[in-house]
Amino acid sequence: MIDRVAGGVALTVADLLQVADEAQRAKEETQRLEAAQAELTRTARQLREANDKLTALSVQKDAFLGQISHELRTPMTSVRAFSEILKEPDLTAEERGKFAGIIHDEA
């Protein structure tokens, strides 16, 4: 009977050692996962910040292109209109010179 108890205790100690080893591995894995999660959190924050900057730059780009487009369209409207007028066969040389000057000034 004592041999059985002694054997049972030895088995229990072996089981406890195995459980302790598994607990240590679980603790190490938890630490590894927590470190990976912290890294993912940092990366996600950096990506959000980069996205915010890109969004702001995109808004500025759109405003710039809108302004440039307006600045180009306004004089081009006059150039196109006076170019059409220059096609008229009834214009005098003086009128042609005047309209050509306007086109030159607007371009």
H helix runs in the chain, sequence order: 2-86, 93-106
- Cα-based angle 12, 16, 17 (whole degrees, multiple of 5): 120
- pLDDT tens readout for residues 47-58: 999 999 999 999
Is the CB of residue 85 less than 8 Å from the CB of residue 100? no
Is 64's pLDDT higher than 80?
A: yes
pTM of the entire predicted model: 0.53
Res 105: pLDDT: 81
Amino acid letter, residue 3: D
Q: Is residue 6 very low, low, confident or very high in pLDDT (cuts 50, 70, 90)? A: low
Alpha-carbon separation of residue 93 from 1, 88, 99, 100 (angstroms): 131, 12, 10, 10
Maximum Cα interatomic distance, the chain, rounded to a whole number of Å: 132
Which of the given ranges, 6-10, 17-21, 68-72, has the highest pLDDT on average?
A: 17-21
